[in-house]
Amino acid sequence: MTTKSRILVCSDPLMTKSSEQASNNRWLLDLLQRPIERATGIKPQSFLSQDVEGDGLIRTKFFELSSIEIDSAATQFWFNSEAVTQKSLDYLGQHLKQSDLVVGYELSEQTRALLNRLSVPYVDMWLHQIRFMDDVLFGFNSNNPGIRGKLFNFDLPEDQMYLYADRVRIQTYRGWRRVEADLLENSALFVGQMLNDKSVCANGKMLNLLDFKERVEDVAQKYSRIYYARHPYLNEGDEEILRFVERHPNLELTDIPSYRMLSNPNLAHVFGVSSSVIQEAKYFGKSTEYLFKPALTYGDKADPQSYATVFQEFVSPHFWADILSPIMLTQDSAKVLFQDPKDKIRDMLGFYWSYADIDKTEHTRQRVNHSIRPAAAQKAQHLMQPAKTWKAPEGFYQTDAQIDALNTKIDAHSVISFDIFDTLIERTVNWPGDLHPIMALQTPQITGGKIEDFLAARREARNLALDKANGEEVLLKDRYQAMARHYGLTPEQGEELHQLELKLELEVCKPRFAGVQALERAVKSGKRVILVSDIFFERDFILALLKSCGITGYDRIYLSSEEGVLKQTGRLFDVVLKEEGVKPKKILHLGDNAKSDIEMGLTRDLSVFHLPEKRVIAERSSPAICAMKHISDADTRSLVTGLASRRFTQSALPEFPGNSGGKTDFLGYGIAGPMFWGFARWIAENARSQGLTDLYFLARDGDIAKRCYDIISQDDPNAPRSHYVLASRRAVNVARIHSKEDILHNLETNFTPCSFETLLMNRFGVDAELIEEAVFKRFGYDSMHDKANRNTHRDRVLGLVTSDEVSALILKNAAKERELLMANYRAHGLDDPTRKSGFIDIGHSGTLQSAICKIMGIANSVGYYFATKDDIDANLGPNHSSHGYVVDRIDHKDAGHPYQKHILMFELLFQNKDGSFLCFSDDTGRVMPQFIDLPSEQPRIEFIKTVHAAVLEFVRDMEEACAALSFKPQLTGSEAILPYSQMLKAPWPADVALFDQIGFENKYSARDIRWIIAPEGDDSAPSLWVEGGEAIRKPLPSRASSAISIPVEFITPFIRSERLNRKLRRDPEAFFADSKKPLVRMVGKFVS
């Protein structure tokens, strides 16, 4: 046994930057100095290296002695320990002796290897991967076998980890929050890490997802979706990773807390570079995979590289006295631990990560801290956030200015040449090749199953038919004949496959706006117009296709299928130049393909203009369309995205198009359309499978759902009958009143303080003029104009409303409304016990379904809702059922779900052009429905008429396409709302402008109209769409803007006058122009 002269506490002195060492050394020494000194009699010292100069060990000098150039700015500098020379080792030995004991925090593999070469003993401690226990754990190891053996006396058993994982998993659906993640079945999770994390360093390179693309592709084939979890502390530097995730059809960026994901049974696999979450996933029953290696392995005493798992005991002298006894004399030491061990080190070090999501105390603490933060501090924090930078898309994306520039080029040339496919003609599927997987669904009927992989056979067919090639091109018909011979099909079967592809092409090919507009400009200007295409179709089919798309006015067509040469090699352009007999620069060629149209055109000295295909323009411009890539069914994804992209590019786009292109009809067609189409299809499929006979779509949210359903089911003779039924809270709640107790129950729904006149009319349909003034005075009021405030005068308000005089009027009106309402419902067959009925509404708690069933005595029913909440079963009772499309039985308190977060914005799109239904009335001698009629509703009515008309267009187009292509689409609720959710969470000014002057009325609760986007200058009325309100106030950049740009928000704190502040926010340009102070006017030049 030797005597140790020094015990040195350190972070990694070689790999880690000095400032980072100092940050860790401070808490490490404060925590360990006392217990180690009590155990050994030696007071531990901090050991800290310097980066460049100073006293002690200098990192740059150490590496220079081995001719290693250090990056002193890097937080973690990777080096090869085998490249470290004896000179460096001797220099290190001057500072670390064999008589020292190093207690290190997260020593790298390289540093540990050098300490071994110097025979310096160490105890290494790492933050443990398992972080869902009652406190953070640490892994301990040592290069001294005696110490190592003692360490494993403190090793925490793995069963303890399994137990705590069970606790976390169960509490997500039974515990204090009950928030389950909405994940696809059989999905996977890739866990991202900090870019400079020491554990991802391999041979000097910091690894990330992009280093494992091939493995990611393999996993993507096996699992329905890969969720990519970005590290919560990472804010920048991973843009390339995010672009890869965004563009991959089976990857999705998620911000769902990791423990919520691990607890979900739909998550099957967790992988990543070296994240601790991968190790944690093991205890939740997931399959796991490290693409590099874990930061540490633990629990295997026989493996010298394996660490012991220690829970808190290292804060006690007895721990150090025991583990250090093999190498030095130690003192008998007491066991000194925290009286209550819960979260002591976690709180001490602030190591929380996702812990608040699983721990009630930490969750509450964070919420309280946030709520009591002073308003001024919150404002200051907000002002420090940079304004969002609105950036116009790159390249050609169909702005008026770009179209004008194209027209100018057309005017300057004699011959205008057009590519055909994706330039003049585009397909309704997203990618041209997406047609073949859809075609593959029909080919077994022709081939009899002889071709197992049609897509592979289709790709291979060109090579099989090279003996029939016409120069550089192989006709499609010859390809199919070669395929038939290869797979043992008859020539007739080969031709049938050929005709099937031609038929499907005719179905999906449509004229392209930008290309046709350019062609019409050329024809109108008297230019010679030629069409030049690399294509395997024959002339007759091309002519039929052009005719079906209404494309005329061209002078000649050059086809590779006839000429035997391709644009892709440049030789088809040679034929064009020879036949046209003009100089190359006299020809302007327009095309979508960067290689065959643009690059090869330039090699022949043609003038060229790149018209990217619709998909590229749409994805370049609209984040909402980009969100569609997460639709899991490939064929559905292609058709939904293709139709949306085509509609998005059917007209010129603004300079900053945003999600919607600034077009209300596209909001309806491409953003809301998939949502309503998916919902209506889901209704039709479920109603049919459950054997329902009648579907009752409840006003007014059910109107658009019924119209979509009617389109979808029009050709299905077995589809349940659809009815549009007028219903509302106001109508059914009055109809259900039979007693004073029912009146009191009706008043349980809160209302904004208002006059008795308003309350009685809005809530009960009673004219307060019929009530004598003495009744009001009896309860301490002067008249019907006095304010009814249930919060401050509850007993008086309830007493007045349930008084004999007032309740008699309410009961009389309720009986009349009930009779008329029930007569209408009987006319729809709601009293027919032989019918199996379903109710359709936006949701959420089934109150209308429950009320109608009670009014009409319906014993059993089913509800199909866009979304349901967790109280719906209690409201409906045991004999009635319900289902939610987007989300089913969501916790009322779960504000993180995209639907619940923007619930009013979803409700807005469901409302039809009518006001809220009140009741039926026969005052005119004819039974007529009564609706709320508000002048302020007119902008909303015009808006929703446009949106719904476009929604129905999308539904018709989708249904026609599905029928023509003979495939059954699949769109889940969470996928259907992707485009709209994307717009709601990240809107652009062009999107927000669509909602100007649109609000919500709620007369039932006596509330004033609330605006989607607050009127400018009205600070008293916050925008219901918070993100929209923020976006509309952020300036768009000018093309000629100053290099320096100061957001208005940075100026307002310096303006003391509230009047001037309002003017600054309302009209910054006028504020600075009108100022009498030269300095203020100068600052105005730099304010955005």
Residues 451-457, mean pLDDT to the nearest whole number: 91
Cα distance between residue 301 and residue 282, in whole Å: 20
Q: How many domains does the chain have?
A: 5
Q: Among 272, 298, 324, identify where a domain stops.
A: 298
> Does residue 367 surpass a pLDDT of 80?
no
Q: What is the mean pLDDT of residues 468-481?
A: 95
735 and 819 share a domain? yes
Residue ending a domain, choose from 509, 542, 566: 509
Q: What is the pLDDT of residues 377-391, one digit of tens each?
A: 333 333 223 334 567
85 DSSP 8-state letter: -
Q: What's the CATH code of the domain at 172? A: 3.40.50
Tell me, yes or no, whether 405 and 517 share the same domain.
Answer: yes
pLDDT of residue 1034: 63
Are 187 and 224 in contact by the 8 Å Cβ rule? The answer is yes
Helices (H), ranges, 306-399: 317-323, 344-349, 360-371, 375-384
**Same domain flag for 520 and 457:** no
Residue 514 makes CB contacts below 8 A (sequence gap 6+) with 398, 403, 611, 649
Same domain, 745 and 885: yes
Strands (E), 26-76: 45-46
pLDDT, position 377: 34
Confidence check: pLDDT of 119 > 60: yes
- The answer to the question of residue 762 being in a domain is yes
Tell whether 64 is covered by a domain.
yes
847 located within any domain? yes
951 lies in some domain? no
Backbone angles phi, psi at 755, to 5 degrees: -70, 155
> Which residues lie closer than 8 Å to 4 by C-beta, 6 or more apart?
40, 42, 99, 100, 101, 327, 328
> Do you find a cis peptide bond into 382, omega within 30 degrees of 0?
no
pLDDT reported for residue 496: 96
Question: Whole-angstrom Cα distance, residue 30 to residue 19?
Answer: 17
Task: Considering only residues 728 and 933, tell me which one the structure prediction assigns the higher pLDDT.
Answer: 728
Asked if 420 and 517 sit in the same domain, the reply is yes
User: How many Cβ atoms sit within 10 Å of the Cβ of residue 923?
Assistant: 8
Residues 6+ apart with CB under 8 A from 17: 51, 72, 73, 74, 75, 76, 77
Q: State whether 497 and 549 are in the same domain.
A: no
- Domain boundary pick from 609, 628, 659: 609
857 has pLDDT over 90: yes
In terms of average pLDDT, the best of 1-10, 432-441, 807-816 is 807-816
Q: What is the pLDDT of residue 1046?
A: 57
| 117 and 95 fall within a common domain | yes
**pLDDT of amino acid 433:** 86
Helix (H) or strand (E) holding 889: strand 880-890
Predicted local confidence at residue 792, as pLDDT: 85
Q: Which of 190-199, 515-524, 532-541, 1073-1082 has the lowest mean pLDDT?
A: 1073-1082
pLDDT at 346 over 50: yes
Q: How confident is the model at residue 96 (pLDDT cuts 50, 70, 90)?
A: very high
For residue 534 the two structure tokens come to: 């690399």
Q: What average pLDDT does the chain have?
A: 89
- 184 and 35 co-located in one domain: no
DSSP code of 510? E
What pLDDT is recorded for position 1044? 44
* CATH number of the domain where residue 605 is located: 3.40.50.1000
Average pLDDT of 462-478? Answer: 94
Band of pLDDT at residue 2, cut at 50, 70 and 90: low
- Confidence category of residue 1003, pLDDT binned at 50, 70, 90: low
Query: By mean pLDDT, which of 356-365, 537-546, 771-780, 984-993 is the weakest?
Result: 356-365
Question: Where do we find the tokens 């927000």?
Answer: 992
Asked if 149 and 183 sit in the same domain, the reply is no
What pLDDT is recorded for position 1081? 60
In this predicted structure, the answer to whether residue 700 has a pLDDT above a threshold of 60 is yes
**Residue 1014 forms part of a structural domain:** no
Residues 106 and 47 in one domain: yes
In a domain, 627, yes or no: no
211 lies in some domain: yes
**Is it the case that residue 701 has pLDDT exceeding 70?**
yes
Q: What three-state secondary structure class fits 3? A: coil
CA distance 331 to 745: 74
The answer to the question of residue 828 being in a domain is yes
Residue 378: what pLDDT?
38
Q: Which of 21-30, 634-643, 762-771, 1024-1033 has the lowest mean pLDDT?
A: 1024-1033
Same domain, 176 and 106: no
The H or E element containing residue 396 is: none
Lowest mean pLDDT among 127-141, 357-371, 480-494, 737-751: 357-371
* Residues of the domain holding 321: 6-155+307-337
> Same domain for 151 and 164?
no
pLDDT digits (tens, 9 = 90+) for 1053-1065: 666 666 676 666 6
Q: What kind and span of H or E run contains 230?
A: none
On whether the CB atoms of residues 746 and 764 are closer than 8 A, the answer is: yes
| pLDDT tens, position by position, 267-323 | 999 999 999 999 999 999 999 999 999 989 999 999 999 999 999 999 999 999 999
Residue 956 reports pLDDT greater than 90: yes
